[in-house]
Amino acid sequence: MYKVIIDCDPGHDDIMAIFCALANKEKIDILGYTTVCGNNLLDKVTDNLCNVLSFLNIEAMVAKGAHKPLFYDSEPQPIAHGESGLDGPVFTYSNLKPINLNANDFLYNTISKEEKVILFGLGPLTNIASFIQKHPDIISKIDKLIIMGGSIYKGNILEESEFNIYCDPHSAKIVFDSSLDIILAPLEVCDFCTLHHNIIEDFKDKSKLFQLTYEILEFYFRYSKRKGDIKSPVFDLAVPMYLLHPEIFEGKNAFVDIILDQDKRGKTIINYNEKGNTLVLDKCDNHLFEQYFLNDLNTLEKLL
C-alpha cells in the first residue's frame, strides 16, 4: 500500500488527479492534503479542495500551507482555471474545514509516524521546499516525490517555463538540489497525458461524481477548445497515473537545475545523467492513460 500526501493547488486537473488517487484505494492510502498558493490564492484553492471533498462526502485531513511563493508575488491564473481557481461547478455548502495545523507541521507529524511516504507535488513547490529546509532529519522517509512541473524545452507561461516552477523557482531549486528521489512529469509528457473533449458527453446527469466531473472538465476543456484542439492535457493527472502505471511511461534520469532570474524565470535545465536524482518522463501511452482514468471514475462512483 502506498502512503501518499497530496500537495496541491486545485485547480481542475489537481481534482482529476485526486479522483484517480481516491479510486485506487486498494493501492493508495491518502494520508492527507496540503494546499499551496499557485493557480490561485491559498484560501481559494483550499476552499476548492474542501468543497469538492465535502460534496462527495469524503473525510480528509486538509492542511493549509504557503500563502505566497518564497520570493515572488502570487500570480493567479484565471485564464485556465477561472476566477475561483475551479470555475465550472458551484458549491453552496461545505462541512469540511482545514485542520488547525499548517502544512509544514502536518507533514512533519504525519511523515514521522510512517515508515515511508510518497509525496505528490501538483502545484508550486513552496510547501515541500519549506519542509525540506525545516526538517532535513526526516526527508529520508520520503520514498519518492512525484511532481508535475517544468519542461524539457517548451513553456506554458513563458516561452520556456512551466507555471508551477515559474511560480516559485526558488523553492523548486531547493527541491531539485535535495537528496530526494524525484519523478518529474514535465509539459512534454503531459502532451500524452490527455483526455478527448468528447469523453464528457455522456457524463451529464449520470451520477453525482460524473456530473461534477462534467462541470469541472467542461470548463477546463474550453481553454484548449478555443485553440481548436480536440483533447486537453490534464497535467496533474500524470502524477498518480505514474505511481499506479509506471509501465505506460518512459523517461530518463537527469539532474535538474532551475533558472531564478526574471527573464527566464522558472526554466528547468535538464542535464541528462544516469546518476541524476530525477527521472524526467517524456512519453506516455495516451490511449491507456485515458482508459485508466475512465475506469477510475467508474470505480470511484461505486466507492462513494
Q: What is the 8-class DSSP label of residue 230? A: S
Distance of CA 208 to the CA centre of its chain: 23
In the bound complex, what is the minimum distance in angstroms from residue 273's beta carbon to Ca ion? 28
In this chain, which of 15, 31, 49, 122 binds Ca ion, going by CB under 5 A? 122
Q: Where are the beta strands (DSSP E) in the chain?
A: 2-8, 28-35, 62-64, 117-121, 142-148, 182-185, 194-196, 231-233, 249-258, 268-272, 278-284
What pairs with residue 6 in β-bridges? 33, 120
Q: Which residues bind ligand BDR (CB under 6 A)?
A: 11, 13-14, 39, 77, 80, 122-123, 148, 156, 162-164, 235-236
Closest by alpha carbon to 190, among 5, 42, 16, 24?
16
Closest approach of ligand BDR to the CB of residue 162, in Å: 5
Choose the one of ligand BDR, Ca ion, none that binds residue 156, judging by a C-beta under 5 to 8 angstroms depending on kind.
ligand BDR
Nearer to ligand BDR by Cβ, of 83 and 301: the residue is 83
Of 265 and 304, the one with the shorter C-beta distance to ligand BDR is 265
Question: What is the per-residue binding string for Ca ion in 218-247, x denoting contact by CB under 5 A?
Answer: ------------------x-----------
Residues 6 or more apart in contact with residue 186 via CB below 8 angstroms: 149, 150, 151, 152, 162, 268, 270, 280, 281, 282
Distance between alpha carbon 9 and the CA centroid of its chain, in Å?
A: 7
**Exactly one of 5, 11, 84, 213 binds Ca ion (CB under 5 A); which one?**
11
Q: Least separation, in Å, of the C-beta of 304 and ligand BDR?
A: 23
Among 123, 149, 150, 169, binds Ca ion (CB under 5 A): 123
Q: Which does 80 bind (CB under 5 to 8 A by kind): Ca ion, ligand BDR, none?
A: ligand BDR
How far is CA 249 from its chain centroid?
17
What the block records as the C-alpha cell of 146 is: 512525484
Chain residues binding Ca ion by CB under 5 A are: 9, 11, 14, 122-123, 236
